Amino acid sequence: MAIKIAVLVGSWFHMSALGFRYVAAAACIAFGLVVLESVAGPAEVAQIKSRQDKLRDMGGALKAINDELKKRRIDWDNTVVPNAQTIKDRSGYLLNWFPRGSGPESGVKTYALPAIWQNNDDFVTLGKLAQVEAAKLNQVALSKDANALKAQVEAMGKACKACHDGYRSPDSEKEDEN
């Protein structure tokens, strides 16, 4: 009888240990999937990098136009018109550059704040405003009216700033200064 109890207890213990191993393995797999899902894969990394590059292009283009306004003679054909076209072209895709999962939770360094997805209606409204201002900037550049260009560069800057104020990390400004 004692041997049967020992065998039964041993069997139970073996099954419990085996069961524990299965539960532990399942927990590790589940945890691993959660970790993998929360870290950006190659496609997400490429998407975020592309977004950053395009936004940097737009900022550089606006700066080039603004710098041109400070000169005695504006180079419309080689600087203002092509840069205004770049801003207009890029802005048309702006709202597609922020899919869910491409924020800080991706694990990729980004200055996009979670507020983009939390307040998406407002973000979309500001993005559409930037698109409208970019189209106006392009029209003004084509007209080659310096006074209108100055006013529109200011309007475009305000549209960019409206989005940056609520949806871009202030850490970006620290890095821009370096």
Output 97-101 pairs: Cβ under 8 A, ≥24 positions apart.
97/47, 97/50, 97/51, 97/54, 97/55, 98/51, 98/123, 99/47, 101/40, 101/44
SS3 content of the chain, % helix, strand, coil (to 5): 80, 0, 15
Q: What is the pTM of this model?
A: 0.75
How far apart CA 160 and CA 133 sit, in angstroms, is: 9
User: Where exactly are the structural domains of the chain?
Assistant: 1-38, 41-177
CATH of 41-177, one of 1.20.120.10, 3.40.50.920, 3.20.20.140, 1.10.3260.10: 1.20.120.10
Question: Which carries the bigger pLDDT value, residue 85 or residue 174?
Answer: 85
The pLDDT of residue 13 is 45
For the stretch 71-123, pLDDT in tens is 999 999 999 999 999 999 999 999 999 999 999 999 999 999 999 999 999 99
Any idea what the Cα angle at residue 131 is, between residues 54 and 68, rounded to 5°?
Answer: 65
Partners of 112 in the beta sheet?
168
The packing angle between helices 120-143 and 81-91, to 10°, is 160
Condensed to tens digits (0 to 9), the pLDDT of residues 138-157 reads 999 999 999 999 999 999 99
CB 115 within 8 A of CB 55: no
User: What digits encode the pLDDT tens for the residues 84-94?
Assistant: 999 999 999 99
What digits encode the pLDDT tens for the residues 18-63?
454 544 444 444 444 343 344 568 888 899 999 999 999 999 999 9
Do 83 and 62 touch, CB atoms closer than 8 A?
A: yes
HSE (side-chain half, CA atoms, 13 Å) at 35: 6
